[in-house]
Structure 1
Amino acid sequence: MNIFLLIGVLIWLYTLSVFKRAKLPAFYFIVGSIGLFFILFFMSKPYFIWIMVRAVSIGLSIIVQPFNLASISSDYGLIAITHGFNSMTMSIDYECSGVIETAAFWGLLTFYPMYKSKGKVALALYGLVWIYTANIIRLTLIVLIVHNFGTEYFFLAHSIIGRIVFYILVVLFYYRVFTYTYLSKNKEEV
């Protein structure tokens, strides 16, 4: 473990204890969520990113390879998309693997006060599956657009359409987990 990460974790834990003792739940939630996100992100670099890249590659290959839309090397996270005689290779890295979004969700969920521990564990696993599926949908959409319309549509497919679809699915999930639950529990109390 990096010494700077260790020092950061110790400062984060101390700051959390101060906010907990001072009964400042908003600051406890914000600092806790952001800190855990960074801890999960930096600790996930060697292994969780590799696992997610491989899982996304395998999931995508199950969908697109039977239709000869792309060739996927799950060992390296490479997608070769063809359009006629043209082809392009796309690399799945930590940005395309869903690691960032999963770490953000787990950070928020851990410090969200509306669920008990068992519910948080179940939601953490469900969130991982949801984000994974949303990512597969996004990448399938990118492959379909590039395969059918050409490599010049890659930027539009990847940076605009794919991200919009992915983030709509993620925001819907966040709404269901955080906002809807909070509103429905408060509605019952009124």
Structure 2
Amino acid sequence: MIHSLENLIDQFNKLPGIGKKTATRLAFAILDMEIKEVEIFSNSLILAKKNIKKCSTCGNFSEDDICDICQNQKRDHSIICVVEDSKDIIAMERAKNYNGVYHVLHGKISPLNGINIDNLNIKKLIERVAKNDIKEVILALNPDLEGETTAMYINKLLKNFDITISKIASGIPMGGNIEYSDIATLSKALEGRIKI
């Protein structure tokens, strides 16, 4: 194989979720582009890496020291929704029914992967709650073992503050089928039931 092509495939293959087949397809897509398009593409990668940093308030990605959401005075700054990473904010914002602010942990407690509390953005969350007039913290972490462990740890740390601590509901998704749901999902659905 051509060395330059093999190197390009290897670079794409390093990205999370990109297997060898997809990496090969992407490499050939680059070869089919005009040189000007490739230059624009590569420059956008470099600019993104140089210009995007973490918001000093919430940890979300931003080109400014403080992200657009934290700067927006129309949002309810007394409610903080805690998420694992910035991709979760994009998903929450698509739902268009949350008007508070966020706090990004940049992961979850996972000793098997070498991630402990010191690797996460938890200290800054506690500082925000202590210094600001926060009424509620919503824990919107993935409902897996690591997410649940992280939520329990944060809940324990926040118990000393006079705030509401809530967790997003989990259970059977809309359009889901009860007969195909696993035991843990059914248990969560029953626990999170609401009065109608």
* Normalised-by-shorter TM-score class: under 0.3
Larger Rg: 2
Greater relative contact order, per chain length (Cα 8 Å cut-off, separation 6+): 1
When the two structures are superposed, what TM-score results if normalisation uses the length of structure 2?
0.20
When the two structures are superposed, what TM-score results if normalisation uses the length of structure 1?
0.21
Structure with more of its chain in helix, by fraction: 1
